[in-house]
Amino acid sequence: MSPRAPEGGAWPFQDRSLGQFVDDMLAVSAPLYRDLPWRGIDDPYAVLVSEIMLQQTQVVRVERFWRRFLEDFPTIDALAAAAVPDVLERWQGLGYNRRALALKRTADQCAAENAGCLPATYEGLLALPGIGPATAAGVMAFAYQQPGLYLETNVRAVFLHELFPDEEQVSDRVLEPLVRAAAFHPVAAADLRRWYYGLLDYGAHLKATVPNPSRRSASHSRQSTFEGSRRQKRAWVVRRVLAAPEGVKATQVLVDLEHTEREAGRPEVGEELFASIVDDLVSEGFFRRVGQVLVP
């Protein structure tokens, strides 16, 4: 189901009306506006690329990649026609490479089934690979100006800071009706871009100036250290295989990875962990295995 406008009683704060909250947020966020290249555009595909890139990645890094990615793959059809290794190569440096594969699969599906266009409904977007509720709501708000439940980390920080300043372990189930109520308020809904851009900018400001309000969310978890992690080794293997267009023996990749780990002062990977990583990457579509050779 699409996110719906809240029914009566969804705003429980007696000392601060919904209208006052919306006015306050628009006022406090106005001077914090960030003129980012993916803002104020009507291309749903370009908006989707920005939303996917911004997942777990700082804005300053995304700014360096978004334009370049769209120059290489300006449309859904262009991305669908591209080879997976080329897409992954353009993604290198952003991390979380699964996002690139999901975006590629979305393009493949839309090119094959929807004439190279993204669906114009929340339900249609949600059915595509790698698109969750927040991403679908973001595309609906920023590309189509349609209100919905866009609850991402900066938005969450604002609601926690403003409405639950002294509470810990606040559940998203508590926040969701409030975020939805605000989005459907006539003043916010009149310009969804302005409303959600403001929340994003204010949330980013809060994280830079006060203890991160998101830490008081029940869904908050500290990101694990990248260096030495399985995720770091996965990323290294992907880069190593992509650097060999004709393919490279798995045994050579393991030798090179072990050398890299020793140089970094980390323990050896071992054949079992390496085989598990390669199996996962092959099954996820990052590269192919032809005999003993890994091929982009």
* pLDDT confidence of residue 1: 39
Measured distance CA(214)–CA(159) in Å, rounded = 9
Known catalytic residue at 162: no
* pLDDT confidence of residue 20: 97
Query: Any bridge partners for residue 249, and if so which?
Result: 293
- Do residues 55 and 99 make contact, with C-beta atoms less than 8 angstroms apart? yes
Using one digit for the tens of pLDDT, what is the confidence trace for 210-239?
Answer: 988 988 888 765 555 667 788 889 888 988
* pLDDT confidence of residue 56: 83
Of 7, 51, 63, 167, the active-site residue reads 51
* pLDDT confidence of residue 5: 42
Using one digit for the tens of pLDDT, what is the confidence trace for 241-292?
Answer: 988 989 999 999 999 999 898 888 888 889 999 999 999 999 888 899 999 9
* pLDDT confidence of residue 4: 45
Residues of the chain with pLDDT under 50: 1-9
